[in-house]
Amino acid sequence: MNKFFHPKSIVVAGASADKDKVSNNIIANLLEMRFGGKIFPIGRNGGEVYGYRIYRSLTEIPQTADLIVIMVPAVGVPDLLEDAGKAGIDRAVIISDGFNESGAEGIRLAEQIKQIASRYSIRFIGPNCQGVICLESGVCVPFAPLFRHQVKKGGVSIITQSGSIGWIAATSLSHEMDGISKVASIGNKLDVDELELLRYLIEDPETKIIVLHLEGFSDGRKLFEYTRSSKKPIIILKSNISGKTSQIALSHTAALASDDRVSDAAMGQAGMLRAGSLREMLEMCKALTLPILNGRNVAVMAGSGGLALIGEDSVLRQGLGMAKLPEDLLRKIAQMGTWKRLNITNPVDLGGFFNNLDILDAVESVLSQREVSGATLSLFRTKEYDSPLTCAELVDQIEGVCKRHAKPIALHFVSDFFPWLK
């Protein structure tokens, strides 16, 4: 599998002198991500793209390559794969669609590429996928544009049946937390499937957390075995609860919903963390980067009594308990804010704390208590509360407190800043 993520040379089949062709985005992405290896575009009309000569066929290329990325109409894929085999290329990413997902002719073509690949011992990802991204090597072969400012290098790797979910996870995890290591969009998974990739990522030193987005299992039993053997957390976003095997099959809600209950139980037993939504998947990744809760006693802190009580509800709903805080600590905190509150307990109402260094001080004092296993902190992020630390600085400092005490803090901001339409 490593050759898919760390090839030294890549052939991109489907390149065109017409810069607007979507397949050229593959080359653009490799350049954008500073892929350090060699790039050989091929396209039947030749010419030039991004300063590279476009070879008319694989036989013109001066050397063999580690990987070929194919984005030409489905009917042209078998010949290209045959050429690749002859040229000694044994890894392919097949982006093209029009195979087993699309009718009789597609199914025939799917069989054909499987045979050719097997004859030449070519391992391939796809078809009907966005291929791989690896932020360590700069490999980035989706045809969907990806820019450096959208992603950063971190510890989450993603195996996904949907290229767009991979894109969403990669960009969101890069903006909301440490970032990603690798993405593998596997599409129809006619050869390489989630099992092989999972095994690879479990061993991959750069990967700390694994996210699976699957619409169907290749082999559930094996998947759950691998998961049980993994020391790394595995989050699964399983969609297609109706269990459709083709887009045309109609769903019979009741029967199929029970199938989902079965697989849900199996995932749980294997220790997979199942996310109910994309948003939950992102939050789970963030939670997993925090220190582990080493007990069940949580301190709830909030910038208002209303939020404090909602925080306590969340703690109780999760089956956790509220930490008992010593009276002298509570008295100390009560004297800190701008308004002196007498009645402080856990949940700790930080209303009237307009200097966020006071907030930081209160958080540090609470988390340093031995009886506190972790905390939640719900704050307003409006102008009044943004001082003297900026919000970003405050978040950094709170992360520091977390790490110093090896206890998790779940952070929640309420803002009056709603910029999405602008």
Q: Which residues bind a second copy (CB under 8 A)?
A: 22, 98, 101-103, 145, 150, 160-165, 168, 171-172, 175-176, 213, 215, 239-242, 247-248, 250-251, 253, 256-257, 277-278, 303-307, 309-310, 312-313, 316-317, 319, 321-322, 338-339, 342-343, 345, 351, 380-381, 384, 391-392, 395, 413-421
Query: Smaller CB distance to a second copy: residue 230 or 346?
Result: 346
Helix, strand, or coil here: 27? helix
Transcribe 175-191 into DSSP letters: HHSS-EEEEEE-TT-SS
Query: Smaller CB distance to a second copy: residue 230 or 378?
Result: 378
Q: How far is the CB of 93 from a second copy (least distance, A)?
A: 18
Q: How far is the CB of 293 from a second copy (least distance, A)?
A: 16
The torsion angles phi and psi of 410, rounded to 5 degrees, stand at -90, 120
Q: How far is the CB of 245 from a second copy (least distance, A)?
A: 12
Q: How far is the CB of 86 from a second copy (least distance, A)?
A: 30
Query: Smaller CB distance to a second copy: residue 289 or 304?
Result: 304
Query: Smaller CB distance to a second copy: residue 4 or 380?
Result: 380
Say which amino acid occupies 415. Answer: S
- Whole-number Å distance between alpha carbons of 26 and 96: 12
Query: Smaller CB distance to a second copy: residue 122 or 151?
Result: 151
Block residue for tokens 């097949």: 94
Q: How far is the CB of 103 from a second copy (least distance, A)?
A: 7
- Whole-number Å distance between alpha carbons of 87 and 9: 13
- The secondary element (H helix, E strand) that includes residue 256 is helix 253-269
Q: How far is the CB of 382 from a second copy (least distance, A)?
A: 9
Are 215 and 239 in contact by the 8 Å Cβ rule? The answer is yes
Query: Smaller CB distance to a second copy: residue 370 or 420?
Result: 420
HSE-up of 411 (CA within 13 Å, CB side)? 23
Query: Smaller CB distance to a second copy: residue 239 or 355?
Result: 239
- Whole-number Å distance between alpha carbons of 127 and 10: 17
Transcribe 94-138 into DSSP letters: E----STTSHHHHHHHHHHHHHHHHHTT-EEE-SSS-EEEETTTT
Q: How far is the CB of 407 from a second copy (least distance, A)?
A: 21
Q: How far is the CB of 390 from a second copy (least distance, A)?
A: 8
**Cross-strand pairs, 13:** 42, 70
Query: Smaller CB distance to a second copy: residue 269 or 338?
Result: 338
- The secondary element (H helix, E strand) that includes residue 227 is helix 220-229
Q: How far is the CB of 418 from a second copy (least distance, A)?
A: 4
**Cross-strand pairs, 12:** 41, 69
Reported residue count of the chain is 422
Query: Smaller CB distance to a second copy: residue 202 or 278?
Result: 278
Structure tokens at 233: 């957390």
Transcribe 266-323 into DSSP letters: HHHHTT-EE-SSHHHHHHHHHHHTSPPP-SSEEEEEESSHHHHHHHHHHHHHTT-EEP
